[in-house]
């Protein structure tokens, strides 16, 4: 949704500027954790509860995050709460990570495999993909048995799908055409 990404962008940029001055990786981990919490349906109910004060929402949110929030992170969360934007945190995190990757000259590679992959297999696949994309990739592997075999890789807005499921679908379309 364009509107949410427009809302999230200035928050992500401000957060990235602050994170660059400190430990960027720690910030990235914290932002991911906070986004997971904010995206949880139970937390969404807390965020949208008009009977709770901003202080109560902050207390519940920071408690669920599970790590003490430093001053800058606490101020950021309180600002989101005060502006009614805490529910946008998953989108802010997505844009934050995109800014981080762009600043580091890297990208995330979401790998979906029909079967669990060993570290050596992931490393070999990433090495091949890095040559293709000419960028450093950070892999995340998810097992998806519905692929039947092969892998599906998503890097930025590009998808490389060598799964058996996709090949069968392509054959089905060719045979019915």
CATH (one of 3.90.600.10, 3.20.20.10, 1.10.520.20, 3.90.650.10) for 2-101: 1.10.520.20
pLDDT digits (tens, 9 = 90+) for 34-85: 999 999 999 999 999 999 999 999 999 999 999 889 999 999 999 999 999 9
Range(s) of the chain covered by CATH 3.40.30:
106-176
Q: What is the 3-state secondary structure (H, E, C) of the chain?
A: CHHHHHHHHHHHHHHHHHHHCCCHHHHHHHHHHHHHHHHCHHHHHHHCCCCCCHHHHHHHHHHHHCCCCCHHHHHHHHHHHHCCCHHHHHHHHHHHHHHHHHHHCEEEEEEEECCCCCHHHHHHHHHHHHHHHCCEEEEEEEECHHHCCCEEEEECCEEEECCHHHHHHHHHHHHHC
Residue 2 has pLDDT above 80, yes or no: no
CATH for 106-176 is: 3.40.30
pLDDT digits (tens, 9 = 90+) for 83-132: 999 999 999 999 999 999 999 999 999 999 999 999 999 999 999 999 99
Would you say residue 1 has pLDDT above 60? no
- Residue ranges of the chain that CATH labels 1.10.520.20: 2-101
């Amino acid at each position: 949704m364009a509107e949410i990404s427009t809302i999230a962008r200035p928050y992500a940029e401000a957060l990235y500027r602050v994170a660059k001055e400190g430990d960027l990786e720690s910030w990235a981990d914290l932002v991911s954790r906070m986004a997971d919490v904010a995206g949880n349906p139970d937390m969404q109910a807390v965020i949208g509860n008009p009977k709770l004060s901003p202080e109560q929402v902050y207390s519940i949110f920071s408690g669920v995050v599970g790590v003490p929030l430093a001053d800058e992170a606490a101020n950021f969360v309180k600002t989101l709460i005060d502006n009614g934007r805490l529910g946008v945190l998953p989108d802010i995190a997505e844009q934050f990570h995109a800014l981080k990757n762009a600043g580091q000259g890297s990208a995330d590679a979401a790998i979906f495999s029909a079967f669990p992959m060993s570290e050596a297999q992931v490393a070999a696949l990433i090495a091949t993909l890095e040559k293709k994309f000419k960028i450093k990739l950070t892999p995340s592997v998810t097992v998806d048995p519905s692929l039947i075999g092969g892998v599906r890789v998503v890097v930025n807005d590009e998808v490389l799908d060598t799964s058996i499921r996709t090949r069968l679908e392509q054959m089905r379309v060719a045979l019915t055409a």
